[in-house]
Amino acid sequence: MRKEEKHEVVSALAEQMKEYGNFYITDTSDLTVAKINNIRRKCFENEIGIQVVKNTLIKKALEQLDGDVAPLFDVLKGSSSVMFSTTGNAPAKLIKALRKEGDKPVLKAAYIDFTAFIGDNQLDALVNLKSREELIGDIIGLLQSPAKNVVSALQSGGNKLAGIVKTLQERG
C-alpha cells in the first residue's frame, strides 16, 4: 500500500469514527472465511459497519480524534477489526450473540461517547448500556409519572374530593 493510499484509509477511518461516535476494536483472527462472512452479514443486518484495518492505521486515525484515546493504543496488537455503530450497545449485543457460536470475536476495546472501555470483561457492561434515546425515554417517563399519579388520584377519588370541597364550602 502506497503512502497516499494509507493516508486515505486513515482519513476515512477517522471520519467514520467521528461520524458514528461509537466504535469497537475486536479480535477476529484465526476465523475461517465463512465465519468472517457470517459476522459481516450480521453486522450489515444490524446496521453496524465493520472493517479490518492494520493497527498502525487505527492508531493514526485515533490520533485525529478529540478526547482521551490513549488507553486504546495498548490494545492494538495482533489482528484488529473495527465495528462502527450509531447505537452504543449494538455491537456489544452482536458480539455477545456471536460468542454463543464460538469464542470470537473478542472485544479488545470500545469507545462510546468519549469514554473508553478496555478488555473483553467489559462486554456485559456494554450490552447493558442504554442508548441516548432510551435514556431520554426513561427521563420523560419519570417526569410524567408524578403528573399521572395526581390525575389518577383525582379521577378515582372524584366523589370524595367533591364531598370534601362541598363540606369546606359549607363550613366557610
List, for residues 8-37, the tens digit of each pLDDT value.
Answer: 999 999 999 999 989 999 998 888 888 989
Mean pLDDT, all residues of the chain: 86
Cβ count within 10 A of residue 147: 9
Q: Are the C-beta atoms of residues 17 and 62 closer than 8 Å to each other?
A: yes
- Hey, which CATH number is domain 3-129, 3.40.190.120, 3.30.70.240, 3.30.365.10, 3.30.70.1730? 3.30.70.1730
CB-count exposure of residue 156 (10 Å: 0-12, 13-18, 19+) = exposed
Which residues contact residue 84 at a Cβ distance below 8 angstroms, ignoring those fewer than 6 apart?
16, 17, 19, 20, 22, 23, 48, 49, 50, 51
DSSP H/E element including 147 = helix 132-156
Q: What are the sequence ranges of the domains in the chain?
A: 3-129, 133-171
pLDDT band of residue 106 (cuts 50, 70, 90) is: very high
Condensed to tens digits (0 to 9), the pLDDT of residues 51-104 reads 999 999 999 999 998 888 889 999 999 889 999 998 889 999 999 999 998 888
Torsion over CA of 121, 40, 6 and 119, rounded to 10 degrees? 0
Mean per-residue pLDDT, 119-136: 85
Q: What is the pLDDT of residue 72?
A: 92
Cβ atoms of residues 83 and 26 within 8 Å: yes
